[in-house]
Amino acid sequence: MKKLLMALSMAASFAVTGAAHAEEKLKVGFIYIGPPGDFGWTYQHDQGRKEMEKALGDKVETTFLESVPEGADAERSIERLARAGNKLIFTTSFGYMDATIKVAQKFPNVKFEHATGYKTADNVAVYNSRFYEGRYVQGVIAAKMSKVGVAGYIGSFPIPEVVQGINSFMLGAQSVNPNFKVKVIWANSWFDPGKEADAAKALVDQGVDIITQHTDSTAPMQVAAERKIKAFGQASDMIKFGPETQLTSIVDNWGPYYIERAKAVIDGTWKTHNVFHGMHENLVVMAPYTNMPDDVKKLAEETQAKIASGALKPFTGPVKKQDGSEWLKAGETADDKTILSMNFYVAGVDDKLPQ
């Protein structure tokens, strides 16, 4: 009897360990365009990855490849992650789009998630963020805070995502001060602290007293701090780099999305989609409003609340294009397709859009 019990308990313990082995961890891979230490775009994606690890604990195991160039290398890096057993792969830059699609065709059992693109497949989902909603709030603050009525804007590349931001910023500012102007300098890079700092200096020398950026390093914030003017952070909360300089920052809150999608793969409910989330879904979060008077802070909070609830859409008419032609009639709002392929400035932007 004793022996039988022993045999049974042993069998049971084997069964349990066997089951534990069968329930394998979900391996999740990430491809980053920059280093996680950029304290901007890639840093936030990496924060999202860490949040996912924290939330799902033993159920996931993550790997990432950083500073992967867009082009022929991207395809190899993505394939390497797929071959290393990752069943869910996030490719976190627009330029990885075609490479993601190509690798996805070879690995039908792996789910891919591409950030900020537009091509989907059965196993490729696209996720995008309405960063421009945050830019609108920044524009409102800038127009309130600026004494000269001109803000400097450091752009990376003139792709729709960046143009959306400039226009939304402009419209937010004009809602407070119709004569507000924005000067733009293109860094032609996502991450180049030297160039970004030079651009910031050039803008300050041209007389702007507020700087905002759509590049990923903290260099512009640091230049603004040196020159004692105000600035907005980008992608992450950059308050450490300008404690008396940062007004607020658009924080890309990827964590909840990453957790949700990893869970969906584990539960077997993952489906492809093309989502465009913003403040409402808590993907666009504003860093605390700092270094501004209470009335400006209040206005910013109200604007944010209205956008989050859907009461205020940044691209609502009447809006004129830079060349004076009408874009949106009074009360008309831009549809997502127009927003996602935006390649013109609205009136008031003091720059010629590189075409």
Partner 1 sequence: MRIELVKRPQHSALFSALSPFIALFLTLIAGAILFSLLGKNPVSALYSYFVEPLTEIWSWHELLVKAAPLILIAVGLSVCFLSNNWNIGAEGQLIMGGIAGSILPVVFPDFQGWYVLPIMLLLGMAGGMAYATIPAFLKVRFNTNEILTSLMLVYVAQLFLDWIVRGPWRNPQGFNFPETVQFNSSAILPEIWAESGRAHWGFILAVVAALLVWFMLSRTLNGFEIKVLGRSARAGRFAGFSAGRLTFFAFLVSGALAGLAGIAEVSGAVGQLRTTITPGYGFTAIIVAFLGRLNPLGIVAAGLVLALSYLGGEAAQVSLGISEKSARIFQGIILFFVLASDTLIYYRIRFVTRHSETAAKGA
Q: What are the residues binding partner 1 (CB under 8 A)?
A: 35, 63, 65-67, 69-73, 75-77, 79-81, 83-84, 94-95, 98, 118, 157-160, 188, 340-343, 354-355
Q: Are 315 and 334 in contact (CB under 8 A)?
A: yes
Query: What's the gap between Cα 3 and its chain centre?
Result: 62
For partner 1, which is the closer residue by CB, 13 or 343? Answer: 343
To partner 1, the closest distance from the beta carbon of 220 in angstroms equals 21
To partner 1, the closest distance from the beta carbon of 251 in angstroms equals 24
Q: Residues near 75 by Cβ (< 8 Å), separated by ≥ 6?
A: 99, 102, 103
Query: How far is 42 from 181, CA to CA, in rounded Å?
Result: 30
For partner 1, which is the closer residue by CB, 188 or 272? Answer: 188
For partner 1, which is the closer residue by CB, 184 or 247? Answer: 184
Give the CA radius of gyration of the chain.
Answer: 23
For partner 1, which is the closer residue by CB, 22 or 72? Answer: 72
For partner 1, which is the closer residue by CB, 63 or 272? Answer: 63
To partner 1, the closest distance from the beta carbon of 147 in angstroms equals 35
To partner 1, the closest distance from the beta carbon of 77 in angstroms equals 6
To partner 1, the closest distance from the beta carbon of 94 in angstroms equals 7
CA–CA distance from 290 to each of 87, 135, 323, 327 (Å)?
A: 42, 16, 36, 34
CA angle 71, 117, 72 (to 5 degrees): 10
Q: Are 144 and 296 in contact (CB under 8 A)?
A: yes
Q: Identify any residues that bridge with 88 across adjacent strands, giving them in sequence order.
A: 28, 111
